[in-house]
Amino acid sequence: MKIEIPTPDDWHVHLRDDAMLDAVVGYTARRFRYAMVMPNLAAPITSSTDAAAYRDRIVAAAPADAPDFRPVMTLYCSPLVDLDDLRRGVAEGVVKAVKYYPAGATTNSEAGGASMSDFLDLFETLAELDVRLLVHAESTDPAIDIFDREAAFIERELIPVSDRLPELGITLEHVSTRAGVAFVDERSQAAATVTPHHLAQERSDLLADGMRPDLYCKPVINSADDRDALIAAATSGRADFFLGTDSAPHPTTAKYGPKAKAGVFNAAYGLEVVAEVFHQAGALENLAAFTSTNGASVYDVEASTNSVTLERTEIDADVATTFTTKAGDEVVLFGADVATRWRVTND
């Protein structure tokens, strides 16, 4: 079985910095064209100058055999964002979007917001500029069950903002629940990225046979029913759901410690994982829309004129399951079991 698709884009990725950036950027650059880079470094990216400097570091670290790789930069929603600087960054093509993190929700989110309502001036500016707001939709209220936190955040925070600013384009990042799918269903200005791990796994995979730290992410992988809703949306061909891997590397020392860091590194085999989900759903004819054209349309760029061929075989291939950075940190590659059955070639 073989399918050819336009070179895909990744509309949500964490490339980190320094030695980790050097180690991971090639996995993304060799598979994807555009890469929407998240701004939650240890020192958040809050200005167009910061974003341009980070983009330069990414480009310098990218491999020479990925000439069409295009990192797209975002700003971290923070009181430090200056609206005039935001306007300049957008006009100069440096800044493509702004990312809202609830404070304390995930890795390097301590500088995030206590409430979306505190940033209405910023959101109004985004609407004026026709720049999308990217949202990590997850309540940090400890009284709310962790599997209900996306739904709670959508109800308490996101719906009031989207109702107040119906012209604001919102991308619900790494949607993980049926409630998230419903939010996009009900709002024409909304779209959502979906990750390979949320499509391929459900919470029994995470917890039933002992906690699997390599599957721990934020928002957490949710129920089988939620996964069914994500698969239905992603495989439907609908223009408002598209691939954002949320690939997020952590060394095994951080994943296997007393408190596992949230993040799944799937840049290496995320495309194979998604292809297998579409294959199992009988929807390979809609794979190109999800990986290559829907997100490009939402972010107003042309789909790639280059292509990638995916072939599913009956012969298991040997694939790597980990890599090690120059600093000696080992990182586990998600999806290796599926990648043994797929071959991906750039045409």
For 321-332, the pLDDT digits (tens) are: 999 999 999 999
Selected catalytic residue, list 246, 300, 329, 337: 246
pLDDT at 226: 98
- The answer to whether residue 322 sits within a structural domain is no
- The answer to whether residue 2 sits within a structural domain is no
- The answer to whether residue 160 sits within a structural domain is yes
Q: Please state the domain count of the chain.
A: 1
Q: How far apart are the first and last CA of the chain?
A: 17
Q: Spell 46-74 as b/e; 16+ CB within 10 A means b.
A: bbbebbbebbebbeebbeeebeebebbbb
How far CA 287 is from CA of 87, 156, 223, 243, 291, in Å, comes to: 35, 33, 23, 10, 6
For 9-56, the pLDDT digits (tens) are: 999 999 999 999 999 999 999 999 999 999 999 999 999 999 999 999
- The answer to whether residue 319 sits within a structural domain is no
- The answer to whether residue 124 sits within a structural domain is yes
Q: What is the DSSP letter of 113?
A: B
pLDDT at 257: 85
Q: Looking at residue 292, which CATH number applies to its domain?
A: 3.20.20.140
- The answer to whether residue 336 sits within a structural domain is no
The residue segments making up the domain with residue 238 are 8-303
Tell me if residue 246 is catalytic: yes
pLDDT at 194: 98
pTM comes to 0.97
- The answer to whether residue 215 sits within a structural domain is yes
Sign of CA dihedral 179, 196, 299, 39: positive
For 61-98, the pLDDT digits (tens) are: 999 999 999 999 999 999 999 999 999 999 999 999 99
- The answer to whether residue 248 sits within a structural domain is yes
Pairing of strands 330-332, 70-76: unpaired
Residue with tokens 């989900």: 277
5 bridge partner residues: 308
Residue 1 has pLDDT above 90, yes or no: no
